[in-house]
Structures are given as C-alpha cells and as structure tokens.
Amino acid sequence: MTVFETLPPERLHAAGLVLGAYVLFCLAIAMREALRRRAARRAAQALSAGTGAPVLVVHASQTGFAEELAMATAELLGDAGARVTLTSLAEVTAADLARAGRALFVVSTTGEGDAPDTARKFIRDVMGAVPKLHDLHYGVLALGDSSYAHFCAFGRTLDAWLARHGASPQFDRVEVDDGDPAALRHWQSHVGLLAGVTDAPDWTRPRYGRWRLMERRWLNPGSPGDAAFHLRLEPLDAADWQAGDILEVGPRNDPAEVAALLARLGLDPAAPVKADEGAGLGEVLSWRRLPHDDTAPATTPQGLVDALPPLPHREYSIASLPADGAVELLVRAMKRADGKPGLGSGWLTAFAAEGAEIAARVRTNRAFHGPEDDRPLILIGNGTGLAGLRAHLKARAAAPSSSKARRRNWLLFGERTSAHDFFHRDEIEAWAADGVLARLDLAFSRDQDRKVYVQHRLAEAADTLRAWVADGAAIYVCGSLEGMSGEVHAVLTSVLGAETLERLTDEGRYRRDVY
C-alpha cells in the first residue's frame, strides 16, 4: 500500500494538485533551459559567419555568469567581423587548441578553488596530456571570489598550463573579484583592441569622480614619433591610489565635431533632453559616440540622444603617488584610422583646456602593485609605459634612506631618440646619481644605424639578469603589447627558462601592465 492510498480523499486531491504544480514547474524550467540552449546555439552559429580572423571563445561556468560574459565577448568580436567559435570548455579538444590560432577563455572557480563541473572532461582528457600549443595566442578571464582561500584558482591553473605548453598570452590574465565591473571593463578593453573596435560602449559604465586638469606639458617636441604629454590631474573629490594603479578616464568629443553635427541637422545645442550626462543637447552629445559619416540615426534632439551610445572609457597607468597631490599621466597623442585624434588622447592632449574638469576614477590594479618587502626591482618599459614604472621608482625613492635594499632598482627604458624622447630625463638621471637606481640601461632605437630596443639591452645583460633574479628580484614590465612586451617575454624565457618564469609568475615576481 502506498502513502497516497492511506490519505483521505480531500488530502489526496490537495496532494495531487501540489504534485501537478511541481511537475509543471519542472517542465517550465526544462523548457526554458531548452530554449536558452537553442538560442545560444543559434547565436553561436551566427557568430561563426564572420569573414575576419578566426577566434575561439571558450567558457567554463558553474552558475552561467562565465557563459554570459563569453557570449558578450564573442558578440564584440563578431561585430568586428571575426569568425567566432563559441563553445563550452567541455567540448574543446587538444586538436582544437592546436589549430585555433587565437583563443579567449572565460572560466570561473567554484567552492574553495575547484574548477566548474563543465571543466572536468577538459581537465581529464586535455590538461592530462602534453599538447604542443606553440601556435596558440590566448587570453584568460578568471572569475572568482577573494573571500575564498584559493581566489581564481582554476583560471590561474589554466593560464599556467597554456603557457607551459607553448601558448603565448595576448595580454595578462584578468581576474574578476565577485563580478567587479572595473575588471570586466578591463577585459572588454583588451578584447576591443584585439577586435580593432575602440569605441564600443562599456558593458558597465564607470562611476566617475571629478578631477581638474592642472598641467599639460609636451615632452618630446622635435621627435620623429607622435607627441607625448605629461598631464597632471588634481582630484576634486576624495581619491586614493598606489603605484601600479590605473586611471579610467571618461573622454569627450571634439567640440567642433559636436557643433558641426548640430549645424548639419539644424538642431539647437541648448535643446532640452533627458540623459544622465546633462540636460542640454550639445552637452550630452559631447559624451556620446557620434556618427562616423554624414548620416544621422535620428533628427530630433531626444531621438538623437537615445540612438547614440555613451563613449567608452580609456585607461592610463598612473605615474605618481598620492603624496604628489595629483595623478600624473604620460599620454601619447594617438590618431584614428581616419586621421582624427584618438578618443581618449584627443580629449586629454588637445580638446580639454587646462583648468577643465575631467571625469575619471582610479581602478585598483593589484596585479601590478609593488612588492611589500625590500626585494630588488627590475623595471622594463618603452614609450609612455614609463608611467607605471615611474610610480614604482617614486615609491622606492620615498623609502627611508636607511633602507638600502629598496634602492636596488634597475630600469631598462626604450624610446626613439635620446635628444627628444628621454621622458623625465632629469628625474631619472637624479635617481641614478643618488642611488635610487642601481642600474640604468637605455635603448634609443633611432640614435644609430642598427635599431636597438629594450629587449636587446636585456639580452646583453643576461648574466646580470640571472644574478638579480637569484637574489630575489621581481620583474615589472610596462608598455606596448605589440612588439615590446612579447619580445621581452621571449628574452626572459630564453635567459631564465620557461619553468623559472612560470615560478616567478606564481610567486608574483613577474608582473606586467601592457596595452
């Protein structure tokens, strides 16, 4: 006899209703999941129809968040024309990785450092083998929660495994603590650069603070390269940072471009509109992505505002300490494909007047913070990458003179010409003279017939490099992603060995801030 046979009729009827409702609930969940998977498959098929370079986008998700971010990543690449293959890590084989060319991994960590369930097959069948991945260029977005002991453990393990088997990182691993929007914007910036899309709206818009542009100084007049500027921004709201942190800047359009668009459409710049950026049409459009051609998505003030997405943020390494009273930046005046000034650099170096208010916020960049102890530092960078290294040197210079260990610093810096591009020369030479810099190696590529770069200076000092690392030195690299950072990584691998470099990475002794 079952339990239902012992129930009185009225309770049996109620139990049947509850059971029926539960069955319907389960069917609804199953149907919703089936529809979600079908929509995901259709989206993935659409993404694979691009004509550009192929990219494999892989997710390993426990709750679905990593899969959502992988989809957003794939859509950004697909909008730029890339042929995107979006798939679960469970479906990826060693052969897939060997022929992928480029791959982006969005992976979560669950519990106390465990991989998601969907990663188990990959861990067993692929990570348990010894594939050759020398033709693979990759990036890893690691999701985790720092309240657990093993933060982002699976993302870190995957990153190290890929590097150990010959794959080359396209940029450093991005770690996301409990869905941190700033870290996700950082990942989006990397993906946008890979896709060649520099004006896609931010997935999450920063909450900017207020800063005053107090100084803009041209550093390299006469240089064969693009103009570079030293900028000083004083906070109007409370702000704090440390060496290694990033400033996210909210750029604005060239006022002349906004005025030309309004004149072409016959619209009043003072026309009232509803938007977070202000109440007047001209003010709001200065924060919005303008049409790239003579067409306009709408002809009414509110319609125009509603149709144009906000401008994305731009990131710059901070070159100063809070004791300096301001954030200082090194910014090169970049140009877009159409010859117009770059979005962020154009605003900071040309369009914003000195004394103007700048929208910006500090982003903590723990991956590039300095060591807490007195270990030696090897600082390697080129161009405006000097910014992040300068902040670390200023922190070392501010240490008590009795701390001799903190004065064992080695700077390798490269630019075009000594006469025009030796940024902050007086300061650097003063550090060398008073012992803040124990060693200074410079590479000015245009000062001789044979072009010399920082990676050449590093290779020439191979014995010294090994000795410093043996003494516990940490290596910090800041500057261009294309060219410099990859070449420096290759020299470090050649001189120190891949296993040593992997160990330094695990110990936090090899850190990069590249863009």
Structural domain boundaries, residue 454: 370-514
Q: Report if residue 154 sits inside a domain.
A: yes
Q: Which residue has the higher pLDDT, 295 or 339?
A: 339
Ranges 39-48, 216-225, 461-470, 474-483: which has the least confidence: 39-48
Report residue 415 CA to chain centroid gap.
23
Phi, psi values for residue 106, rounded to 5°: -120, 105
Q: Mean pLDDT over residues 472-488, rounded?
A: 91
CA distance linking residue 171 with residue 482, whole number of Å? 10
CA distance linking residue 114 with residue 294, whole number of Å? 53
With CA atoms as reference, report the closest residue to 333 among 213, 197, 216. Answer: 216
With CA atoms as reference, report the closest residue to 61 among 70, 53, 52. Answer: 70
Do 215 and 346 reside in the same domain of the chain?
yes
Q: Report if residue 40 sits inside a domain.
A: no
CA distance linking residue 474 with residue 469, whole number of Å? 7
Do 500 and 399 reside in the same domain of the chain?
yes
Q: What would the pLDDT profile of 167-208 be if each residue is shown by its tens digit?
A: 999 888 999 998 899 999 999 999 998 888 878 888 888 889
Q: Report if residue 200 sits inside a domain.
A: no
Do 106 and 59 meet the contact criterion of CB atoms below 8 Å apart? yes
Q: What would the pLDDT profile of 299-328 be if each residue is shown by its tens digit?
A: 899 999 999 999 999 999 999 999 999 999
For the chain, the domain total comes to 5
Do 323 and 399 reside in the same domain of the chain?
no
Do 466 and 448 reside in the same domain of the chain?
yes
Mean pLDDT across the chain:
88
Banded pLDDT at 11 (limits 50, 70, 90):
low
Q: Report if residue 335 sits inside a domain.
A: yes
Q: Report if residue 12 sits inside a domain.
A: yes
Do 378 and 498 reside in the same domain of the chain?
yes
Q: Report if residue 354 sits inside a domain.
A: yes
pLDDT > 90: percent of the chain = 68
Kindly report the CATH number assigned to the domain that includes residue 484.
3.40.50.80
User: Which amino acid does the sequence have at 472?
Assistant: G
Do 295 and 178 reside in the same domain of the chain?
no
Do 245 and 258 reside in the same domain of the chain?
no
Kindly report the CATH number assigned to the domain that includes residue 83.
3.40.50.360
- Residue 266 DSSP class: T
Local structure of 430: helix, strand or coil = helix
Ranges 49-63, 169-183, 260-274, 484-498: which has the least confidence: 49-63
User: pTM here?
Assistant: 0.80
Statement: residue 34 has pLDDT above 60: no
Residue at which a domain ends, from 348, 365, 382: 365
Do 71 and 128 reside in the same domain of the chain?
yes
CA distance linking residue 358 with residue 211, whole number of Å? 5
Residue at which a domain ends, from 345, 365, 385: 365
Q: Report if residue 42 sits inside a domain.
A: no
Question: What's the pLDDT score for residue 13?
Answer: 56
Q: Report if residue 94 sits inside a domain.
A: yes
Residue at which a domain ends, from 365, 383, 409: 365
Banded pLDDT at 47 (limits 50, 70, 90):
low
Do 83 and 211 reside in the same domain of the chain?
no
Do 214 and 361 reside in the same domain of the chain?
yes
Do 391 and 460 reside in the same domain of the chain?
yes
- Residue 335 DSSP class: B
Kindly report the CATH number assigned to the domain that includes residue 360.
2.40.30.10
Do 410 and 509 reside in the same domain of the chain?
yes
